[in-house]
Amino acid sequence: MTIPAATTRSMPTASSATPPDFAAIKQRQQATWASGDFAVIGVTLQGVGESLAEAVDVRAGERVLDVAAGNGNATLAAARRHADVTSTDYVPALLDKGRARAMAEGLAVSFQVADAEDLPFADGSYDVVLSTFGAMFTPDHRRTAGEMLRVLRSGGRIGLANWTPEGFIGQLFKIIGAYLPPPAGLQSPAMWGTESHIAEMFGERSSDIRMERRDFKFRYRSAAHWIQVFREFYGPTHKAFAALDPAAQNALAEDIAQLLHQSNIAGEASLVVPAEYLEVVVTKRGD
């Protein structure tokens, strides 16, 4: 799907009499992503980073910034294509995991702790800006999009991979939200997985936006195995279970198991769950 530069569509958002406290929300989110060990799950998503690097057409010698990089899937994909990569995240431990991966492959990558909503780089510093399932989790969507556009040169490309509301992860967040509602007025991360929200945030400053819905397949031994891994290592589910009493924990596990069984395409032998995401390539309008 391609959207012309001038095309923007409004999308209803949650409202609240009191604006969300983004600083407090971000602090809690940082603690969430620092809990567990996202890298255990992150490495299984490497294929998404490779696909995104191809969609954006990352080329040797280009200056590439990976925003909210986690343990470095898009970082490594760009570095394997001989780009000059800077990998950023606000969780230092995740950058350490990415650094270890890059060292194991002999890839030269710069790692820097940075907030996606306040990137410490000059205007027009990069040819390509990437984010796989990272930027979408920032509290202030417009500020994050603005920062990504700001540090990108005219004619440069932004590549995003964002979970959709209708997909498996979007449905998972809805289940978790029923037990632990998000702060009032906060936009859902899954809005980044909708064409209208992307067009609204990037359309006015872009010459082209290409979007395609893709599936990533989670592959685990069983629903119980998936729940065990995500309960222990994935920040949002790790924190959700920890915040509930035993009865609510059991109820949450049952609801997630039901979603997994409904989504499983592998039969009883194992678990294969397609998770839809939106692959986005934005080309910044020239001056």
Dump the DSSP string for 96-159.
HHHHHHHHHHT--EEEEE-BTTB--S-TT-EEEEEEESSGGG-S-HHHHHHHHHHTEEEEEEEE
| The pair of three-digit structure tokens given for residue 213, joined into one six-digit string | 């819905």
Q: Are 263 and 168 in contact (CB under 8 A)?
A: yes
CA distance 261 to 273: 9
**pLDDT for position 267:** 92
Residue 16 within any structural domain of the chain: no
Amino acid type, 165: P
Residue 265 within any structural domain of the chain: no
* 63: containing domain: 22-217+277-284
DSSP 17: S
41: CATH: 3.40.50.150
Provide the domain count of the chain.
1
Per-residue pLDDT of the chain in tens (287 residues, 90 and over written 9): 555 443 333 333 444 456 777 777 777 777 777 777 888 999 999 999 999 999 999 999 999 999 999 999 999 999 999 999 999 999 999 999 999 999 999 999 999 999 999 999 999 999 999 999 999 999 999 999 999 999 999 999 999 999 999 999 999 999 999 999 888 778 899 999 999 999 999 999 999 999 999 999 999 999 999 999 999 999 899 999 999 999 999 999 999 999 999 999 999 899 999 999 999 999 999 87
Nearest residue to 145 (alpha-carbon basis) of 134, 155, 135: 135
Residue 151 within any structural domain of the chain: yes
Residue 270 within any structural domain of the chain: no
**pLDDT for position 17:** 53
**pLDDT for position 171:** 97
Residue 194 within any structural domain of the chain: yes
Residue 268 within any structural domain of the chain: no
| The pair of three-digit structure tokens given for residue 209, joined into one six-digit string | 């936006």
Residue 11 within any structural domain of the chain: no
Helix (H), strand (E), coil (C) string for 76-105: HHHHHCCCEEEEEECCHHHHHHHHHHHHHH
**pLDDT for position 16:** 43
Nearest residue to 214 (alpha-carbon basis) of 3, 7, 45, 33: 45
Burial 1-11 (b: 16+ CB within 10 A, else e): eebebeebeee
CA distance 4 to 207: 7
**pLDDT for position 23:** 77
Residue 255 within any structural domain of the chain: no
